[in-house]
Amino acid sequence: MDIDKYSFLPLIREIAIDLSCGNYEKIRQDRRNGRVDMRDLQRVIEEYGRTIVPLPDNIADFIDFYTIDNEDRLDMYIPLWTKEEKRSDLTLFISGYRKSNELVVEINDLRVL
């Protein structure tokens, strides 16, 4: 893949901010939820019971990046941060790719790992 994995960081940060603010509808409207039902995403966050906060400056140190060459995609496992715990077990699984020469990210899943 010819995409620099760090180029996705602003998009990842934006999703985390939207999640921390409860902007689920914005994520859905922007189609960043991929095939994930936003009600399920919201339910997982609410059941987790902690307050999601923006990601730290050094978030790249904590992301697991996996290049999917045959699909020209980058899959990323991103731990979310909470006010109560700092780094949490709540992990966002995102795919990033280029569409019409623009970087795109889509949420695949959100799990407690």
pLDDT of residue 3: 74
The tokens of 89 are what?
Answer: 């077990």
pLDDT of residue 1: 52
Exposed / middle / buried, residue 19 (Cβ in 10 Å: 0-12, 13-18, 19+): buried
The tokens of 20 are what?
Answer: 């921390």
Rounded CA-CA distance 93/95 in Å is: 7
Please state the domain count of the chain.
Answer: 1
Instruction: Give 3-37 pLDDT, tens digit per residue.
Output: 788 999 999 999 999 999 999 999 999 999 998 99
Give this prediction's pTM. Answer: 0.90
Residues 96, 15 contacting (CB under 8 angstroms): no
Domain residues for the domain of 34 are 5-112
Instruction: Give 64-104 pLDDT, tens digit per residue.
Output: 999 998 888 999 999 999 999 999 999 999 999 998 889 99
Q: If you search the block for the tokens 């990033």, which residue do you land on?
A: 96
